[in-house]
Structure 1
Amino acid sequence: MTSSSSIVIVGAGVLGLCTAFELHRRGRSFLVVDPGEANASAVAAGMIAPAMEAAIDDASPERAALFRESRDLWPDFAQAAGIALARRPAEWRGGDAAVIAARMRALGFQASLNGDRVVTDEDYQVNPGQALAAMKAALSDAVMTGRVEAVRRTGGGWRVQTDRRALQTDAVVLATGAEGAVLGLPQAVRQQVAAIQPIRGQIGTMTQALAAHVVRGPGAYVAPMGTGVVVGATMEPGRRDTAPDAAAGERLVQAAWRVLGRTLEPLEIEWRAGVRGATADGLPLA
């Protein structure tokens, strides 16, 4: 059986679903192929953080402007997609607070400094689980469960072979994160896919409401999530395993308590790990 749509999107993480929803808003014909497995988008704190990320990474003015412009697209998109967008303060706590505040201000972000704390109102947050579910619900039948096995050029289009059926399409969007290249891709595309680096990240979730807004500091962050918080996160380039690492979790917990200024308490934490794809310069790849 073969069906057709003008665009096939391979992958149903945040990038695949955001691409699909934007095409939906523009009235385009598309189909998302969702492998149905847990992806890195669900193992995240959902921070849309141009001010904090720019300051922590000591970003260039051009990079900071890209971060800000990306954030500014979110309110309209979130409202259209039914995504709950939290617009609350974000805080940095640590001995280098003055440096963080100075970098934010130099890049045009608002920041207030009080001792070893920096607070900005420029960062947002979403709940990844709610965001992914909202987009899938909005896209409805345009999301099919399956795994792409191969692609093949057919005249001016593509034949996408899944484990369920063949799809005929004018264009293919790969939103497969750190996964390997699909069989049949052109050499130039395979080279781009091969350049994507896997980065393993581990986070922990707790039911206790330890923070009312995102709190970051050396070695960890604590961010509200549902009725509890998420604690994160490791960044381990080159790793593809997703089994939680107890030692890494212990280090994150100790750093989180230091950030919060609290003594270590025995709390129940659920650890998860995901693998996302990254480019050498940290910028989007199209």
Structure 2
Amino acid sequence: MVIGSGVLGLCTAAELAMRGHAVTVIDPGGPNASSIAAGMIAPALESLLEDVSAERAALLKRARDLWPAFADAHGVRLLREGAVWRGPRAEAALDRLQALGFDTRPTPGGLITTDDWRVEVGAALKALTRAPGVAVVKGQVARLVGDARRWRVEADDGRVWFSSTVVLATGSGPPVPGLPDRIAAEVAAITPIRGQLTFVAMQAPARVVRSPGVYAAPCEGGVVIGATMEPGRRDLDPDPVEAARQVASGLELLGEAGEAGATRVGIRGASADGLPLAGASGEPGLYVALAPRRNGLLMGPLVALVVADGIEGREPAADSAALDPLRFA
């Protein structure tokens, strides 16, 4: 049973179902951070923006490399268009990305990398919910009760499910009542990061365009321009002043005109080191798939692999230690 229907929960459910497990996903309903994301699978430009180590960049690239097989297995259309970077010090950015091993070449005013891909988020999430062996039910989990054999999952409307294995994929939400104290404390320590983006109707660019502080990602009918990173905030009301600033920056980046549409807000969850928490929680039958910061799509198949291997008792994947939920204990 998977509690949560964001990208980490759905990737994990699809991976488990592909291995022959019957999986129930409890979807709390409403938007989540995954559903309002721009769809970027971007190890290169995320590595540049976050100024990560060579080891972290290599991990992000390995996570990206799982996507082609994962997408093929689950009917997700993977768009390998690359991404453009425009901004100051483009030559230094090019040198940095090449030093990290990314395929990058200069362009007028910036650079292009073939190592960043994307998906259409809505279509991708829908495809994962339709994976054979995955059943999605709407519900709010009110309480978890565990013993040595199984978990009792109680919904707020009185429904009850029993499962020997539960995967906690609740995003930036508060701890589910009934979680063991140690796990509840780890969930409570996840930092919420508010993100806001705005749809703009216009001729979409051929690929994602990014610069410091703003991106424009193609989507049906135009682009989405985003996204803020506001740690510690959980409020979901759009900020019209920030939206106007964001749209102006995005249109300047593209050098085009467009008509601003709806602004959406989501809350990401982040661990202390910015990598997801994925794998065994230390409690029998309880696993977690949480806190990918703004790289939920990029890390989704790797998180799914790590969690599914743990459930099946397989030899841990090479990158599982980096995502170990117990690494901060």
Would you say same fold, with TM above 0.5?
yes
Determine whether 1:91 maps to 2:84. Answer: yes
The aligned counterpart of 1:285 is: 277
Determine whether 1:53 maps to 2:30. Answer: no
Tell me the secondary structure at the aligned position of residue 133 of structure 1.
Answer: helix
The aligned counterpart of 1:254 is: 248
The aligned counterpart of 1:23 is: 16
Q: Which stretches in structure 1 are left out of the alignment for 5+ residues?
A: 1-7
Determine whether 1:275 maps to 2:288. Answer: no
Structure-2 separation of matches of 1:57 and 1:221: 15
Structure-1 separation of matches of 2:91 and 2:255: 18
Structure-2 separation of matches of 1:139 and 1:33: 16
Aligned AA (1:169): S
Structure-2 separation of matches of 1:80 and 1:119: 29
Structure-1 separation of matches of 2:132 and 2:182: 31
Tell me the secondary structure at the aligned position of residue 270 of structure 1.
Answer: strand
Aligned length: 277
Identity of aligned residues (%): 48
Report how far residue 216 of structure 1 moved. Answer: 0.5
User: What aligned pairs does 1:71-220 form with structure 2 within 5 A after superposition?
Assistant: 71-139=64-132, 142-164=135-157, 165-220=159-214
* C-alpha distance after superposition, 1:248-273 (max 9, x if no partner): 111111211232234xx461321111
Structure-2 separation of matches of 1:269 and 1:120: 29
TM-score computed with the length of structure 2 as normaliser: 0.81
Structure-1 separation of matches of 2:107 and 2:67: 29
Report how far residue 33 of structure 1 moved. Answer: 0.5
Structure 2 contact 2–9 (Cα < 8 Å) conserved = yes
Distance 1:267 1:275, change over 3 A: same
TM-score computed with the length of structure 1 as normaliser: 0.93
Tell me the secondary structure at the aligned position of residue 12 of structure 2.
Answer: helix
Distance 1:171 1:118, change over 3 A: same
Determine whether 1:226 maps to 2:226. Answer: no
* C-alpha distance after superposition, 1:175-216 (max 9, x if no partner): 111100011101110111011011110111123123111000
Structure 2 contact 81–116 (Cα < 8 Å) conserved = yes
Q: Which stretch of the first structure deviates more once superposed, 209-218 or 65-74?
A: 209-218
Distance 1:232 1:10, change over 3 A: same
Structure-1 separation of matches of 2:260 and 2:244: 12
Structure-1 separation of matches of 2:243 and 2:113: 28
Structure 2 contact 236–266 (Cα < 8 Å) conserved = yes
Structure 1 contact 180–193 (Cα < 8 Å) conserved = yes
Structure 2 contact 83–113 (Cα < 8 Å) conserved = yes
Aligned AA (1:253): V
Structure 1 contact 56–100 (Cα < 8 Å) conserved = no
Structure 2 contact 71–77 (Cα < 8 Å) conserved = yes
Structure-2 separation of matches of 1:194 and 1:268: 36
Structure 2 contact 23–134 (Cα < 8 Å) conserved = no
The aligned counterpart of 1:5 is: none
Report how far residue 115 of structure 1 moved. Answer: 4.3
* C-alpha distance after superposition, 1:93-113 (max 9, x if no partner): 111211211111011011111
Report how far residue 140 of structure 1 moved. Answer: 7.1
